[in-house]
Amino acid sequence: MTLATLRDVLQPALAEGYAVGGLVCLGWEDMRAFARAAEAEELPVILQTGPSCRAHTPLPVLGAMLRELADSVSVPVVAHLDHGYTAEECRIAIDCGYSSVMYDGSRKPLSQNIDETAAIAEMAHDAGVSCEGEIGFVGYAAGESSQGTDPDEAATFVRESGVDAVAISVGNVHLQQNREGGLDEARIRAIEAVTDIPLVIHGGSGVPVAQRTALARTSRICKFNIGTELRMVFGRELRAVLDADNEVFDRVSILSHLEGPLETAARAALRALAPETGESA
């Protein structure tokens, strides 16, 4: 079994100058494609399930699926709860076999975010599980606006919450379909100067690939969450299959055509974050 915690994969990344892909999963087919991509690239991967995935499939089922995939490959696989909004949700994920949880208190006042995140980090650590927190709010394309991370607040949050990694808001946006946004590197450097744990970028699909690669190798950013660009591949390939045969109806037959393109896209996303030498992590 290669099930790993977030700390297991991010600490080496921090020490050696690379980042790990947090690939957003919605179902078995994309999870399997992402695990196979990591195996092919000989790189660790973080398979993460967000609120929309959990609304569709219960946590006990997702936990079993993720652990099965970790068993199927030889590279480290993190089973990660993305955007957990309650302590109960994080507790259930831990009980269901997740090796990492992310508690999102970013919409709350700093002191409340710290207190709630610290309690969840303690619960996770007691179970041998990692915990990611968030300071500053990462907004949504055509939705809520971002609130950039204040470096001083980041320093306080990291010091008092006890998290293993912290997500920051530095120009990144969830659900962005292009790569034209770019990140505020001056703010990143200011945050780095006062924190000592791996940093996380949510909304990685909106970040130009060249900037992802450069920051993976030259900053404390050790995890890029990538979802939208992979979902776009899924949608494009699904339309192509249906357009090619307007009588096809079997789910297994349809989805079998999608895993190859998803694996190819995931391999490219993971490779862009890899060590400069291209060697396995």
- Distance CA(25)–CA(47), nearest Å, equals 7
Longest dimension (CA), the chain: 59
Contact at 8 Å (CB) between 222 and 10?
yes
Sequence-distant (≥ 6) Cβ neighbours of residue 159 within 8 angstroms: none
Could you give the 3-state DSSP secondary structure of residue 259?
helix
Residue 97 has φ and ψ, to the nearest 5°, of 100, 5
Contact at 8 Å (CB) between 222 and 200?
yes
- Among residues 4, 33, 211, which one has the least CA distance to residue 100? 4
- Distance CA(237)–CA(257), nearest Å, equals 8
- Distance CA(10)–CA(140), nearest Å, equals 26
| List 30, 82, 104, 164, catalytic entry | 82
Structure-block tokens of residue 173: 């946006």
Annotated active-site residue 82? The verdict is: yes
- Distance CA(273)–CA(44), nearest Å, equals 11
Q: Where are the alpha helices (DSSP H) in the chain?
A: 6-16, 28-41, 51-56, 59-72, 87-95, 110-126, 151-161, 185-192, 209-218, 228-244, 251-256, 259-271
Q: Any idea which residues carry the catalytic annotation? A: 82
